[in-house]
Structure 1
Amino acid sequence: MDEEALLAAPEAEYMNAEQLAFFDQRLQQLRTETLDEITAIKNQMLGNSQVSDVLDRAQQEEESQIALRIADRKRQLIPKIDAARQRIRSGEYGYCLQTGEPIGIARLLIRPTAEYCTDVKTINEQKEGVYEHKSR
């Protein structure tokens, strides 16, 4: 099954065994790629040689900080991938954790770790924005 077939499938087939297998494979691949990227970032940082020039060292430290933030963000994706795969096994994958409504194939193709339908996600983000604004 490919993306085109997923998008063309009738609603009655939503999250059937074939679709779940497709997303499980996609999540496995995303997990492998993410771990490989984290390893590559760590190896790159370890391979950085010490420089004596102050400006070069400052630039190297700045690049290392950016790389660490990227690696940390990717590291945070791993539990989300694992949770999505657990939802596949439990039969909850593809359905909003808050409303139980289908998340939708198109959204899952873009973000296979999605836990909420678009409406709930939008409301939650708006609430987060209000709380952040009030706390400033």
Structure 2
Amino acid sequence: MTLTKDELLKAPADEYMNEAQLAFFRQLLEDLRQETMDNIEAAKQQLASPPEMNDEADRASYEEESRLALRIVDRERRLLPKIDAAMKRIANGDYGYCLESGEPIGIPRLLARPTAELCAEVKTLNEQKELNFRH
């Protein structure tokens, strides 16, 4: 039996990343991977078959849609290795724990970003450091 999001959120802390929760996130990541692959394929199909363009407005519209499709493909393509890395962490037993601090990432954060590698505190600190180095 697969857990629901509500059951996952209501689970006690001592059940964190038990087998049922890992199975939930494994399926979530598999679904995300398939959705990502489908999005890439749809964007490629859109780019491969340009519509008939009768005027400059049609051409401009198509070029803008193509630019957006390319950005989607690029973003989705960069997501695939993150999904694969998260799947490896599930297999290794490291999934759900911050790579820097070892602390639990937390169910709500993993539901929002199943590929998360850092807990919110470490991520915030890293972003603050990044901002300081830029200035």
TM-score by length of structure 1 reads 0.91
> In structure 1, the residue corresponding to 2:115 is in which secondary structure?
coil
CA RMSD of aligned residues (A): 1.3
Which residue number in structure 2 is paired with residue 15 of structure 1?
Answer: 17
Alignment-mate amino acid for residue 71 of structure 2: R
Query: Which of residues 2, 5, 22 in structure 2 aligns to 1:3?
Result: 5
Which residue number in structure 2 is paired with residue 32 of structure 1?
Answer: 34
Unaligned stretches of 5+ residues in structure 1: none
Query: Which of residues 60, 69, 83 in structure 1 aligns to 2:62?
Result: 60
Please list every run of at least 4 consecutive aligned residues from structure 1 whose deviation after the TM superposition is greater than 4 angstroms: none
1:111 and 2:79 correspond: no
Alignment-mate amino acid for residue 76 of structure 2: K
> In structure 2, the residue corresponding to 1:61 is in which secondary structure?
helix
Which residue number in structure 1 is paired with residue 129 of structure 2?
Answer: 127
> In structure 2, the residue corresponding to 1:64 is in which secondary structure?
helix
Alpha-carbon deviations, 1:64-116, whole Å to 9, x = none?
A: 11110111101110100000000000000000000000000111111110000
**Alpha-carbon distance between aligned partners in 2 of 1:35 and 1:129, rounded to the nearest angstrom:** 33
> In structure 2, the residue corresponding to 1:71 is in which secondary structure?
helix
Which residue number in structure 2 is paired with residue 71 of structure 1?
Answer: 73
Report the count of equivalent residues. Answer: 133
> In structure 2, the residue corresponding to 1:85 is in which secondary structure?
helix
**Alpha-carbon distance between aligned partners in 2 of 1:80 and 1:73, rounded to the nearest angstrom:** 11
